[in-house]
Amino acid sequence: MAGNWKMYKTPAETTAFFEKFRPLVEKSTHCEIVICPPFTNIAAAVAAAKGSTIQIGGQNIAWAREGAFTGEISGAMLTAVGASHAIVGHSERRQYFGETDETVLKRTVAALDAGLTPIVCVGERLEERESGGTEAVLVSQFTKGIAGLTGQQFAKIVIAYEPVWAIGTGKTATPEIAADAHRVIREQVKAKFGKEAADAVRILYGGSVKPDNVKSLMAQPEIDGSLVGGASLDAGSFASIVNF
Ligand code: PEP
């Protein structure tokens, strides 16, 4: 269960979040818990999570190790401050910052090279769903992005299916819609990397996951976890999601 804080919270607010959140998930050993705060709060989050099983991730990662890339943060920088994960290809990065399947692949490889677990996001836009293009979009994102990994690399990634129309909109994909999309993705994985890889890969659902809908989503065997935006900003609500 992963939380994406987007561009919210200061380091002090991060510390305050963990004070409330930690006791609520102290006994939650049924899943991995990852929180991805803004880069400026990672050190505070790592310090506040110390001694717990909560892991910390970045919301993006540069494809280069270092260099003249103003505004970028490298994998080595993330691991140096104690991060273990990095979200890659979030739809807000694709929509507002020109992220493409090609750059998503490069960033994914950079995360793996740095020893980080990439959470690679895919998902269709509203007009693509309404025109019946969901499957084609998922196949294309997979083919141009994730399929460029080696089998060994693929075994270390987590995929997040996030239909763009469900992110931050309050519209959740029904459990059946989400499961259908997860099946499409898993089929692609099977065709490219084999059955074992398809069975093993974790596919998270993201898009307006809340305490009151998480249970029905997680009841789908296809759905292995959630990537949670808005509802992960509140300690009580993210803890309820983790403890669904
Ligand atoms: C997200 O940011 O990845 C996300 C799914 O957002 P929300 O839960 O707010 O829809």
What's the rounded Cα separation, in Å, for the pair 207 and 133? 18
Which H helix or E strand runs over 2?
strand 2-4
Q: Which atom of ligand 1 is nearest to the CA of 232?
A: 8
- The pLDDT confidence band at residue 53, using thresholds 50, 70 and 90, is very high
Which range among 43-57, 137-151, 161-175 shows the weakest confidence by mean pLDDT? 161-175
Q: Is the CB of 151 under 6 A from ligand 1?
A: no
Average pLDDT (81-97) is 97
What's the rounded Cα separation, in Å, for the pair 144 and 24? 40
Q: Could you tell which of 1, 5, 6 is best to mutate to test the pocket of ligand 1, judged by most ligand atoms within 8 Å of the CB?
A: 6
Question: DSSP characters for 202-226?
Answer: EEEEESS--TTTHHHHHTSTT--EE
Q: Is the distance from CB of 120 to CB of 140 less than 8 angstroms?
A: no
pLDDT reading at 73 higher than 90: yes
Q: Is the CB of 91 under 6 A from ligand 1?
A: no
What's the rounded Cα separation, in Å, for the pair 9 and 40? 10
In the chain, what are the domains? 2-242 (3.20.20.70)
What's the rounded Cα separation, in Å, for the pair 44 and 42? 5
Give the closest residue (by CA) to ligand 1 atom 4.
Answer: 229
Average pLDDT (112-138) is 97
Count of CB atoms within 10 A of residue 43's CB? 17
Residue 80 corresponds to which amino acid?
A: A
Ligand 1 centroid–CA 163 distance in Å is: 10
Per-residue pLDDT, 210: 97
Per-residue pLDDT, 83: 98
Spell out a b/e string for 140-174, using b for 16 or more CB atoms within 10 Å of the CB, else e.
ebbeebbbbbeeebbeebbbbbbbbbbbeeeebbe
Average pLDDT (158-169) is 95
Ligand 1 centroid–CA 237 distance in Å is: 14
Per-residue pLDDT, 170: 87
SS (H, E, C) 6-17: CCCCCHHHHHHH
CB proximity list for 201: less than 8 A, separation 6 or greater: 154, 155, 157, 158, 159, 186, 189
Span 4-46, pLDDT tens digits: 999 999 999 999 999 999 999 999 999 999 999 999 999 999 9
Give the closest residue (by CA) to ligand 1 atom 1.
Answer: 229
Answer whether 0.85 is exceeded by the pTM: yes
Spell out a b/e string for 191-227, using b for 16 or more CB atoms within 10 Å of the CB, else e.
ebbeeeebeebebbbbbbbbbebbeebbebebbbbbb
- 21 or 171, higher pLDDT: 21
Per-residue pLDDT, 171: 86
Residue 100 corresponds to which amino acid?
A: T
What's the rounded Cα separation, in Å, for the pair 16 and 75? 27
Per-residue pLDDT, 187: 98
pLDDT reading at 212 higher than 90: yes
